[in-house]
Amino acid sequence: MVDDDEDVLLAAKMLLKKNNHQVIIEKNPNKIPFLLNNDQYDVILLDMNFSKDTTSGKEGFEWLRVIKEREPNAVVIMITAFGDVEMAVRALKEGATDFVLKPWQNEKLIATISTAIRLRKSYNEVDKLRKAKEMLEEQISQPFRDIIGHSSAIKETFALIEKVAKTEANVLILGENGTGKELVARAIHQKSLRKDASFVAVDMGAITETLFESELFGHKKGSFTDAREDRAGRFELANGGTLFLDEIGNLSMALQSKLLTALQSRQVTRVGANKPMEVDIRLICATNMPLHQMVKDGRFRQDLLYRINTVEINIPPLCERIDDIPLLANHFLNYYSKKYRKEVLSITPEAMNKLKKYAWPGNVRELQHAIERALIMADSASLQESDFLFSRKGNDPVNDSLNLDEVEKSAVMKAIQLHNGNISKAAEELGLTRASLYRRMEKYGI
């Protein structure tokens, strides 16, 4: 409540505290921006006149505009001793929720505030549902959401998913790039008790140190240069559901510490705010890096590793799932045939044999892109052996090609293999930023 009359503030605070409301009172309206930056309020009670002998309500309307610009969903009740119907109508048109005259009737004020609190809760729920809908649509639009395979290696993974899904245990998924770590995480979520809530995926390797807290914990409008509006972090969006932190092995020690603090306290504080909020998440993490060795080398916190890996799931590389290659290849062929409207209905036995002999360093993702490329370039109703360009060794793509994409893909793969999957070092070797390297990995299915 913001009012220049201290007696009015104290009277209101005493009344509202009796009705189990936490009340912040302030005489100086110039502190409104500071208060909004440092906390969230269900309802704001705003006086309309602060200067002596002023009855126009002009100051109140100016502060109402400031509040609504900073927080469009703010629920504001205007209060004045000099109101009339015209002023009340103007207040509502400019974004106020209600209008109360001094001296107020206690019962009426309590009823007005209770209605306003319900309205604020509905705003919050609508905002949460809108964001959840956006994330759900993004998930639905992604192809290949199911894990495909019948080899003994992948069946062991299926068995682990079934065991762990119905629990609240934190899961660490280990596997090479392209093996389908996010698919496993989504499968755990879909089989869990949280399946009706949000699944929020975060690529930790693509988040810079400076944006880490903003991305994960959220920020208040104006808390830094580009913070043009309040924004919920990934922890907040995943509240009640599952938070998937991919490439967690790429976090610096400083960021590991911040993440551990949030996981231990189960609270996050938006950048620019000082009031923490409780979060209830199911945590799933993934990496292609050797975390246990990194702990020994002092590059990953042991206490964080204990926190994230109640259960470990190791996903086998595609070279250990040879029996699944025909199933996967035909699945991708069917998908891309429909996507590109091409009548490519089969893969010849010779071509399939070639696919089974190749080592697939990029795993399932590389197979997916190989099928897509072959189908686009195919001239017949079936994919031929010549449609797949691999070296005789079966370990590297053709590296004597003059095709720029093939050359670049080969260089990216070699750099990653040279540095044992360390993306930061591979990017440095290639003269790229880490984000640029991730874009190329996505482009080439690595």
* 271-301 per-position pLDDT tens digit: 888 889 999 999 999 999 999 999 999 999 9
Compute CA 76 distance to the chain's CA centroid, rounded to the nearest angstrom.
Answer: 31
The SS3 call for residue 327 is: helix
Contact 308, 283 (CB under 8 A): yes
Q: Give residue 216's pLDDT band: very low, low, confident or very high (50, 70, 90).
A: very high
pLDDT at residue 209 in the model: 86
What are phi and psi for residue 274, nearest 5 degrees?
A: -125, 5
Helix (H) or strand (E) holding 27: none
pLDDT band at 141 (very low <50, low <70, confident <90, very high): very low
Residue in the structure block whose two tokens are 């035909």: 330
Give yes or no for a contact between 356 and 323, defined as CB atoms under 8 angstroms apart: no
For 311, half-sphere exposure in the C-beta direction (CA atoms, 13 angstrom radius) is 20
Q: What is the pLDDT of residues 411-446, one digit of tens each?
A: 888 788 777 778 888 888 887 888 788 878 877 778
pLDDT of residue 398: 42
Three-state DSSP class for 4?
coil
Share of the chain above pLDDT 70, in %: 92
pLDDT attached to residue 313: 95
Average pLDDT over residues 149-165: 91
Instruction: For 157-253, list the strands marked E by DSSP.
Output: 171-174, 199-203, 218-219, 231-232, 242-246
pLDDT per position as a tens digit, 321-370: 999 999 999 999 998 998 888 887 899 999 999 999 999 999 999 999 99
Which residue pairs from 430-436 have beta carbons closer than 8 angstroms and sit at least 24 positions apart in sequence?
434/205, 434/206, 434/250, 435/206
29 DSSP 8-state letter = G
Structural domains of the chain, ranges and CATH numbers in brackets? 6-120 (3.40.50.2300), 142-316 (3.40.50.300), 319-444 (1.10.8.60)
Distance, in Å, from the CA atom of 97 to the CA atom of 76, rounded to the nearest integer, reads: 5
Mean per-residue pLDDT of the chain: 86
CA-CA-CA-CA torsion for 223, 225, 231, 235, nearest 10 degrees?
-80
